[in-house]
Structure 1
């Protein structure tokens, strides 16, 4: 699914965030996951007997009963959840090997509303600790060996695209990388070669499409390299960026801008596309109306619940509840 805006981050250095090449060392296991608990000391003979724990099936049933089921809310498999975390857990239930998250970027004038990036970092990323090994972020990192005039020309093209976006977007992408590393998830930025930068600089009026194609190609290459590593076996690879590149079924003419079909094939279908949308960012404009779920979404219905559309297998749109 496409988003009305795309972010093409200016050349920034993610070294402090740990943006390592595909040959970097494996992520250390989360110490809270996978280790056996120490045995409890035996109770003294005079201790009263303890209550018998319910069998696992009864405990599971009790837990399930305590969690409200999502409510059907219309077409495209729409479900309304009590909170975003449960909606995200529902998506993870598909068991993806690659989770490709696309966002609606914050725009100027919306600085008082938490962005999709911030919500993902604070609410969803912790749920991936121990499950995901790597996070590929749509951050463009300059190779210092490239000609400065080439990089400057590309940066100028980027500014033309991002001028209507909130000034903090790039900083929030960097913060997302730092948050991932703290959780034991290795962040990666995108580093185009000097030849790729030169091709974009020489593309003229086609510079933006060339950048979009490069972003998709670099993301797919990094993800496939990580998928092929033995130390990543059984772990999830997460890609995070604009909700244009993760489409598993891109619009005609935009196929080269999306890594979705390639990674879906590489994972044998274990690919999930998730767009996360801040409700207040949705506008009655042509780009939004073109999205397949827009006609089925009513912002006045379920305003305090998280709405999750499932337009196709492995494809989800999560719309956050209204901001309080």
Structure 2
């Protein structure tokens, strides 16, 4: 989105701020430091349950949580199923970003569902710390984004233990959330912003190599190969809010309630406003569309 053309041609001048995690973004929204955000849906639901007036107005990415582990541990494909995989961590700890992040909720949900009570979930303020925590023996595994996998494999002795499509189907790793007063008062700006968002998602799907180059240049934090590898691990990008996305999110809402993250269930109408994105993205969702990592020039 910060690349050339996406926002400029729509006459949008946005100020971008990076936060360590979803819960940190919710804190920023409470302080009035942001109007629109890219965020995993569980922390957004927690914010709504605490009285924050916001709604999800677009999708973005699904199935973006992975698990990395100490190479001495079995990976999921070497186990009979997800329960056996997690049981091998009995008596040890699994690291995740802060409590309430989508990664934390997924791990806690699976442990609860499998009846595994002797695995500690250890929360870290920054996902950057997770790989080092595995390498020094502080934790035996960690849940995080595809970028965590790439970084950990480059700079640490870990491996991808559970791929993103094996934890929670269609989990809403991020969507676009806006404060309700902005939704009411800035509809036309939001419509243009979501149009740019859809164009950016399409660009990732159709030419991820060019997008990786753009992200590398704009961020100054990652090289092009790093971004391409992260895309390749979980390339499920789309701006739409299809029934599958909403259904998965509502399953999270139930899980947040049953695990004690929220005191009351939050209904769908308080979480979603699909009106804007439905007017922009009218076709079937593209979350499962194939992605080619060939350069655009090669396909001509």
The answer to whether the superposition gives a TM-score over 0.5 is: no
Higher percent of residues as helix: 2
- TM-score, normalised to structure 2's length? 0.25
TM-score (norm 1): 0.24
